[in-house]
Structure formats: structure tokens, C-alpha cells
Amino acid sequence: MGASLLRLHFHDCFVNGCDGSLLLDSTPAFETEKNARGNLNSVRGFEVVDQIKAEVDRACGRPTVSCADILAVAARDSVVALGGPTWRVRLGRRDSTTASRALADSVLPSASMDLPALIENFKKQGLNRIYNATNIDPAFANERRATCPRTGGNSNLAPFDPTPAKFDTAYFKNLVKQRGLLTSDQALFNGGSTDQLVKTYSSNPNAFWHDFAKSMIKMGNIKPSTGNQGQIRVNCRKAN
């Protein structure tokens, strides 16, 4: 669940800033971002966010902390709980009153993106300090095909890396071995400008932790609504 909460914060921030819009259910006025291609049947953890919101409001006596801030703090605390680094989360984000599936479809990065497309996608969010067909190890490909046939099914589950419940550098070690699961994964180590960074992270966890924490702070500051903008939602799933 920790990785899912981290992903919620990521996908929330990329669509019109860190404003909790991903948490909103559909209304007659708009379709939820949960139905966007990058989110449908893959983002999860909404019930956990609801539980956190209820506990925070109970402790504060009234709705004081925004759903957007809850996502930011939950992402940080999830990484820490999985053995990763911590960072200082700036608070004060306000919640949006609307959402846009169309915008989510247009801005969320795709699992099929190559390196130039990924870099351009992140640049559009102001995240420009990140250091063609996937090149995947044949044995690993055969292993995954056996576990995950084209017909799919809920029983055909496999982790993205060997340590799904631990925040570590196994992801980068797999990339060096040509065992990236998605095109957008292996694109980071495929003869391009990020190869050296992948090698560094695969052998130096402290370097990855340091850069990851700095990147999370930067992502959490993407176009936040503050002051009198937006609102503090009573229910994260709908506007007040």
C-alpha cells in the first residue's frame, strides 16, 4: 500500500498541481481523474486516504488539513515506513473543487514512453533535473510471459521488482541487468543520457535517497493552491 499512496501523490501533482483532484469522484459537471488511462484499474489507496482524513479531522476537531496535504504527508510517511529516506513536507495546499479526466489523459506519463518522451513529460511539470524499443533480457521476458499471459486474470500477479515491500535500489539493479518490466522503465538504461545515473543509484543507495527526497519536495510544490484558492474538503471524494 505504501507504493500506492506514493503513486497517488505523484498522479495528483501531475494533473494541474498538487490539489487533491485525483481523489474526487465523478459528478454531473466532470468525470473523475480516476478513469484516466494512467489511473483506471491501477491507482488505489483511496480508502486509506479516507481513514487518514477522518483521524486527522478527529484529532484537530474540524477539517483543518487538506486532502492534498494528506497525500503529500502519506507519500513521505509511506517511503519512511518501507525503509526509505525522509524529507520535510511543506504544508498549506488547498483542495480543488473540480477534476479533469481529459487533462489527466494528456499529461500523465505512459508506461510505453521512451526516454526522450519521459524527459519532455517531466520538463512540462518543471521537473527538469533528472539525470527505443525496450532492451529487455530474453530470459526475464519469458519468465514474465509465463506469469502474466496476454489473457490476464486476477490470479496472474507478479511484483515489479524482487523487493516490493522495501524501499531500496533493486529497481535500478534490475535495469542494469536489462530486467526493467515496462518500456518506460528500461528506457532509463538503454544507451541514453540516464545510463550513468542508473549505475550510480544501483550501487549507491545513499545517492538515490538524497536525490529522491529532493525530487519529492520539488514535485510536491507543483502549482499548489494556497491562501483563498480552493478549499479544505470535508470529504476527500467530493467538493464541499
Residue ranges of the annotated binding site for Ca(2+) are 12, 15, 17, 19, 21, 33, 161, 168
Residue in 56, 42, 50 with CA at minimum distance from that of residue 7: 42
DSSP 238: B
How many whole angstroms separate alpha carbon 43 and alpha carbon 9?
10
What radius of gyration, in Å, describes the C-alpha atoms of the chain?
18
Contact between 125 and 222 under an 8 Å Cβ cutoff? The reply is yes
Q: In the annotation, is 11 catalytic?
A: yes
Binding region for substrate: 109
The three grid cell numbers given for residue 180, joined into one nine-digit string: 526493467
How many whole angstroms separate alpha carbon 232 and alpha carbon 18?
13
How far is the CA of 3 from the CAs of 10, 14, 112, 156, 214, in angstroms?
11, 17, 20, 20, 18
Residue in 63, 84, 74, 64 with CA at minimum distance from that of residue 18: 74
Tallying the residues shown for the chain, one arrives at 240
- CA 49-102-220 angle, to 5 degrees, is 45
How far is the CA of 158 from the CAs of 40, 191, 234, in angstroms?
19, 27, 37
Binding region: 12, 15, 17, 19, 21, 33, 109, 161, 168
- CA 96-29-41 angle, to 5 degrees, is 75
The active-site residue, picked from 7, 11, 94, 179, is 11
Q: Which residues are catalytic?
A: 11
